[in-house]
Amino acid sequence: MVRGGMMDQTDCTMDSGMVREEAALWGFLHDLFRPPSEEQWQWLRGEPARSAWAMLAGNIECDVVPALPVPETQAAFEQDYLAAFEVGLPHPPCPLIESHWNHTESVPKVLHENTLFYHQFGLKMSASTLETADHLRFQLDFIRYLALLFAKALEQDQHDKAAQIEQARTDYFERRLGWIPDAAQACREHLSEGWPVQWMSLLSACVEQIRSQV
């Protein structure tokens, strides 16, 4: 992306540091699901990514391994990533797009509502992107951005603005992210216990935990 009920005032006194930690969580998960490349492979093998995974695995109620699971080679990583998330007939086991899992709304409606949320907060999709507005990475980038806006409003004692942002966060979690646990379950059913299952399980646990709090 290119960045271009309502809580009461006492709710706005919550710790902005915790909100910034949440933003970092979404940033890590966004980066975790970036497409396979040499750069991504090296990032996954680096200490920052491994430390972030270990911290989440130790603090989120989820049955995942404590060490970031990654295939032994870049070629295996790319092959597994594509087979799990992007390639398959009639579709891959776990497409990373909401419209595949949302059976109550049409695809145009799903795309339109995601885009409206983005535009409401001054975000627009890059003209060069190959991904749709309902792709997981766009959604994770958006909730990370909302968390940062929320933290900034709290720090500046902008209570009305903080309340509006928190309402948007609540609405977005309720309306747009419910597909992720379904996708994680399908991943477990189709792919047994490979690393994509571990990744989706951690993602789902994070979404469900934060959804219960907003």
Query: pLDDT tens, 116-128?
Result: 999 999 998 887 7
Round to whole Å and give the CA distance between 189 and 126: 34
Q: Quick: pLDDT tens for 95-121.
A: 999 999 999 999 999 999 999 999 999
Q: 48 lies in a domain?
A: yes
| Number of domains observed in the structure of the chain | 1
Residue 15 sits at the vertex; the CA angle it makes with 10 and 20, to the nearest 5 degrees, is 135
Q: Return the structure tokens found at 213.
A: 């709090």
Going by C-alpha positions, the residue among 122, 92, 121, 125 that lies closest to residue 111 is 125
Quick check: 184 pLDDT over 50?
Answer: yes
- Average pLDDT across the chain, whole number: 89
Beta-bridge partners for 123: 3
214 band by pLDDT with thresholds 50, 70 and 90: low
- Look up the domain containing 67 and give its range: 12-211
Phi-psi region of 43 (alpha: psi -120 to 50; beta: other; left: phi over 0): alpha
Length of the chain counted residue by residue: 214
Quick check: 13 pLDDT over 60?
Answer: no
Q: 7 lies in a domain?
A: no
Q: 4 lies in a domain?
A: no
* pTM of the full structure: 0.90
Q: What is the CATH number of the domain that holds 203?
A: 1.10.3480.10
Quick check: 186 pLDDT over 90?
Answer: yes
